[in-house]
Amino acid sequence: MVNPTQSKPKILLSRRWTREAEQYLSERYDVTLNVNDVPLDAAALTQAMRDYDAICPTVSDSLNAAILGTPGARVKLIGNFGVGFNHIDIEAARKAGITVTNTPDVLTDTTADLAILLMLMATRRAGEGERELREGRWTGWRPTHLLGQDVTNKTLGLVGFGRIAQATARRAHLGFGMRIAYHSRRRATAQVEAQCNATYYESLDALLADSDVLSLHCPGGAETHHLINRTRLGLMKQTAVLVNTARGPVVDEAALAESLASGQIAAAGLDVYEREPIVHPGLLALQNVVLLPHMGSGTLETRTAMGLRVARNVDLFFAGQPVSDKVV
């Protein structure tokens, strides 16, 4: 527990947060802001391990075993700004006695909204249409211009079935009458399946073959690296659309670019990438893929809520109480 006569705990925010979230922490702690809002390199993160009591990183910060094992490290809390934590070596944090927290729940609806946005943009060729209009190539309405696909009464396949996938499923079923199918490491309860009108597929490959839209919601990491590869893309319908709001490395981007270029699948909508902020040049050259810059939780309300969720865990930790969202 922090003694009130002692100096305030020193906290580093690795990127800029919303004003409300930054202000909340700055009023209570000795906070350092990343004023230039550029990613911190390994040397800066290593030094931060020695200089601060807590680091609040984002997905753009790689906290590997070497950094977390910094000799003379002062950091005892990593308050991650986000749900996913595959950029943090959790086992190394455990060994170093560092508590890691994340921000579940608060970004569920916002990210699900974006998954639906990508699905609609890709199926209706909205990105192609906007580029055509802005570039002055639109010659006027005609019956066969930029024909897309309906999603109503089609099958939405979900890979992973956590909070965001379930929220996406409800939107798709209630809003568009879509049939919901999913594959996950653990089958959901009968109650959850009924709420989402969802059918469980034990086989991922069978799900791929049956889906008109395939939306990825699985965690990142070694187990799911290139889960969607050239072979699995070959199992999908030629009219199928792939949506990824999960983690970039889940998809083999080179294989996806080839599949889109050859017509193996119809289209894709991506918000995450293998080597962010770098995007595979093969994808950038294609018209039938919607590319967004990792905007999944990007609303003022949600990013503020994420920051305040981190702050709540910071408060609890330095008050000597159990944190709410402990990863390790």
Q: What is the mean pLDDT of residues 236-254?
A: 98
Is residue 268 in a domain?
yes
183 with 219, same domain?
yes
149 with 240, same domain?
yes
How confident is the model at residue 5, as a pLDDT?
44
**Reported pTM:** 0.94
Structure tokens given for 230: 């050239």
Nearest to 118 by CA among 272, 282, 239, 285: 272
166 with 225, same domain?
yes
Structure tokens given for 185: 């490491």
In the chain, alpha helices (H): 19-26, 42-51, 65-68, 90-96, 108-123, 126-134, 163-176, 190-196, 204-210, 230-233, 253-262, 281-284, 300-318
73 with 121, same domain?
no
194 with 236, same domain?
yes
Is residue 72 in a domain?
yes
Is residue 35 in a domain?
yes
Q: Given pLDDT bands bounded at 50, 70 and 90, which one contains residue 6?
A: low
Given a contact cutoff of 8 angstroms between Cβ atoms, the answer to whether 50 and 71 are in contact is no
36-94 pLDDT, tens digit per residue, is 999 999 999 999 999 999 999 999 999 999 999 999 999 999 999 999 999 999 999 99
Q: Is residue 276 pLDDT above 50, yes or no?
A: yes
Burial (CB count <10 Å: 0-12, 13-18, 19+), residue 134: exposed
Burial (CB count <10 Å: 0-12, 13-18, 19+), residue 295: middle
Is residue 325 in a domain?
no
Is residue 223 in a domain?
yes
279 with 310, same domain?
no
Domain span at residue 305 reads 10-106+300-318
128 with 198, same domain?
yes
- Name residue 32's beta-bridge partners: 12
87-133 pLDDT, tens digit per residue, is 999 999 999 999 999 999 999 999 999 999 999 999 999 999 999 99
Q: Is residue 266 pLDDT above 70, yes or no?
A: yes
Dihedral angle over CA of 56, 272, 185, 207, nearest 10: 170
Q: For the domain that residue 68 is a member of, what is the CATH number? A: 3.40.50.720
In whole angstroms, what is the distance from residue 314 CA to residue 25 CA?
9
Is residue 4 in a domain?
no
CA 194, 196, 199: angle at the middle one, nearest 5?
Answer: 75
Q: Is residue 3 pLDDT above 80, yes or no?
A: no
76 with 132, same domain?
no
Q: Is residue 1 pLDDT above 50, yes or no?
A: no
Is residue 5 in a domain?
no
| Catalytic positions | 247, 276, 294
Measured CA distances, 154 to 144, 149, 176, 180 (Å): 22, 10, 9, 9
Given the DSSP bridges, would you call strands 30-32 and 54-56 parallel, antiparallel or unpaired?
A: unpaired
Question: Which residue type, as a one-letter code, is found at position 204?
Answer: L
Q: For the chain, what is the domain count?
A: 2
Nearest to 56 by CA among 26, 100, 2: 100
Is residue 79 in a domain?
yes
Given a contact cutoff of 8 angstroms between Cβ atoms, the answer to whether 99 and 74 are in contact is no
Measured CA distances, 75 to 51, 63, 69, 120, 230 (Å): 8, 12, 10, 44, 42
State what percent of residues in the chain have pLDDT above 90.
Answer: 98
73 with 159, same domain?
no
141 with 279, same domain?
yes
How confident is the model at residue 317, as a pLDDT?
98
96 with 140, same domain?
no
Indicate left, alpha or beta for 105 from its phi (over 0: left) and psi (-120 to 50: alpha).
left
Structure tokens given for 30: 């000795």
158 with 184, same domain?
yes
Rounded to a whole number, what is the distance in angstroms from the first to the last CA of the chain?
A: 19
